[in-house]
Structure 1
């Protein structure tokens, strides 16, 4: 383990999940590089996804829709009984993921809306939100029933591609875990879930296929110690 609070890996997400024991993780929050991002990148509406911030290499490898069943099966297996699972995605991917997640055993509650509070790029009805699909394994109450299903946080500008705000992860962690729990993110990117986890006295297990992302995440997490 990198230290007693976090451990990072740099392998394929499904391979990484297969290495984790059954019923060992209290909460998964993740933001996979879903297939429809590639479509937006090709037509030029998501220009900042063309290369990574740190190099001229092609941006991170897309996770194809065809692999979601295996990914969700493994996520369900490693989660403890009576736990939550949050997956960031767009509306196109939501229609793909929901029936597969239900097939492997998750209960789907609803899509939460991340309101970015400013419109993005596009040609019509420009995007101001993303979905956060809210799933449950077993039965687990949220810690605060007064939180709305629209979460307002300004987007991260000039960060790692598609980086999410730490405060967004803090809300989900506060709702679905307690101090000392283990939070995991198989597609950790720049480590927003890890930063939130450590700042809230949770342990963090992170993985990303992109080596640059792991270096960035490790540096951010070590600066919190």
Structure 2
């Protein structure tokens, strides 16, 4: 998989022939990759919802503060950030590749706008309905119980891959809709540490099976806790993860090593 990279330096952690982690800012790290070298991208970018609001965690009222990376409130800066990282992702995506991007109303409209501006073709807007959402502590609006996942191909002309048969089989012989009911992260997936925006393996398994083939290269530019990498490697795909926070790089390494082994 090293042929994907323009250079290897101190930012890279090569765990195996199938797994490379890059501890760096995503825009700079994406410049290390060769153009049109990645089959699929899954991105869980900042939602920018850490604005001093409140939520519920383990039955207690807590402030929504996920980290400095989640605190930007200037809408123009948010739009610019989304445009720049999606543009950088488009450069490394193969011509028939696809990208999946998660979000809530805080960021998903900005993401959708950037995708349109950059010439992507949106295939689906998935609604991920959570079975166990935290209650709305303000009691002044409905409880937030879902996230969006936009699935898009690189251009209207791209011949993207979709494993229709696998999705029908998973859905008991019926066509799968764009509303997915999947619980949030179970406790056993947090054994090696916690990340404030960790996604469940069940969600990533479905996405990867639906849109990639075995041995394809999957990129996650906001690697976080490494769920994408764990899923990709267990499903016999190759993985490139980018994460700027050293703490989360170490969390990803521990999770991957627990299921894939050490080098």
When the two structures are superposed, what TM-score results if normalisation uses the length of structure 1? 0.89
Within the alignment, does 1:102 sit opposite 2:137 as a pair? no
**Unaligned segments of structure 2, at least 5 residues:** 1-13, 57-61, 168-174, 188-193
SS of match in other structure, 1:92: coil
**Cα root mean square deviation, aligned:** 1.8
SS of match in other structure, 1:131: strand
Match of 2:180 in 1: 151
Change (3 A) 1:21 1:48: farther
8 Å Cα contact 2:100-2:150 kept in structure 1 = yes
Q: Which has the larger radius of gyration?
A: 2
Change (3 A) 1:136 1:120: same
Find the partner of 1:130 among 147, 152, 169: 147
CA displacement, residues 143-182 of structure 1 (integer Å, 9 cap, x when unaligned):
1163221122211256421111011001010011000001
Change (3 A) 1:49 1:101: same
Change (3 A) 1:197 1:60: farther
Match of 2:213 in 1: 178
When the two structures are superposed, what TM-score results if normalisation uses the length of structure 2? 0.77
Find the partner of 2:45 among 26, 29, 32: 32
**Unaligned segments of structure 1, at least 5 residues:** 52-58
SS of match in other structure, 1:119: coil
How far apart, CA to CA, are the structure 2 residues paired with 1:68 and 1:175?
25
Matches within 5 A, 1:73-112: 73-112=87-126
Q: What is the CA-CA distance between 1:110 and the residue it aligns to?
A: 2.6
Match of 2:232 in 1: 197
CA displacement, residues 81-124 of structure 1 (integer Å, 9 cap, x when unaligned):
11110001002311111121111121112310111112324232
Find the partner of 2:160 among 129, 133, 140: 140
Match of 2:55 in 1: 45
Change (3 A) 1:50 1:94: closer
8 Å Cα contact 2:47-2:106 kept in structure 1 = no
Change (3 A) 1:49 1:210: farther
Match of 2:35 in 1: 22
How far apart, CA to CA, are the structure 2 residues paired with 1:153 and 1:215?
27
